Amino acid sequence: MKYYGALEAGGTKMVLAVMDENGNTVRQESIPTKTPAETMPEMIAFFSAYAISSLGIGGFGPLNLDRNAAEYGHIMETPKLPWRHYPLLQAFRDALQVPVGLDTDVNAAALAEARLGAARGKESCLYVTVGTGIGGGVMIHGKPVHGLMHPEIGHISVSPVPEDPMPEGICPYHAHCLEGLASGPSIEKRWGISARELPQGHPARDIESAYLAQLCANAMLTFSPDMIILGGGVMQQKFLLPMIREKTLKLLNGYIAHPAVSEGLEHYIVTPGLDTRSGITGAWLLAMEAEAALY
Q: Which residues bind a second copy (CB under 8 A)?
A: 62, 76-77, 123-124, 136, 138, 140-141, 143, 145-160, 173-174, 176, 214, 217-226, 251, 253-258, 260, 268
CB of 266 to a second copy, least distance (A): 14
User: How far is C-alpha 161 from the geometric centre of its chain's CA atoms?
Assistant: 25
Nearer to a second copy, 98 or 171 (CB): 171
CB of 55 to a second copy, least distance (A): 24
What's the DSSP call for residue 175? T
CB of 221 to a second copy, least distance (A): 5
Nearer to a second copy, 173 or 295 (CB): 173
Nearer to a second copy, 156 or 229 (CB): 156
Helices first, then strands: H and E counts in the chain: 9, 10
Measured over the CA atoms of residue 259, residue 263, residue 264 and residue 269, the dihedral's sign is negative
Phi, psi for 2 (deg, rounded to 5):
-105, 150
CA separation for the pair 119, 122 (Å, rounded): 5
CA separation for the pair 127, 108 (Å, rounded): 9
CB of 153 to a second copy, least distance (A): 5
Nearer to a second copy, 43 or 182 (CB): 182
Strand ordering across the sheet containing 269-270 = 143-144, 134-140, 125-130, 228-231, 269-270
CB of 164 to a second copy, least distance (A): 13
Nearer to a second copy, 151 or 282 (CB): 151
CB of 168 to a second copy, least distance (A): 12
Nearer to a second copy, 138 or 283 (CB): 138
User: How far is C-alpha 53 from the geometric centre of its chain's CA atoms?
Assistant: 25
User: How far is C-alpha 280 from the geometric centre of its chain's CA atoms?
Assistant: 11
Q: Is 174 left (phi over 0), alpha (psi -120 to 50) or beta?
A: beta
CB of 93 to a second copy, least distance (A): 23
Nearer to a second copy, 30 or 222 (CB): 222
> Which of 232, 111, 228, 148 shows the shortest CA–CA distance to 182?
232
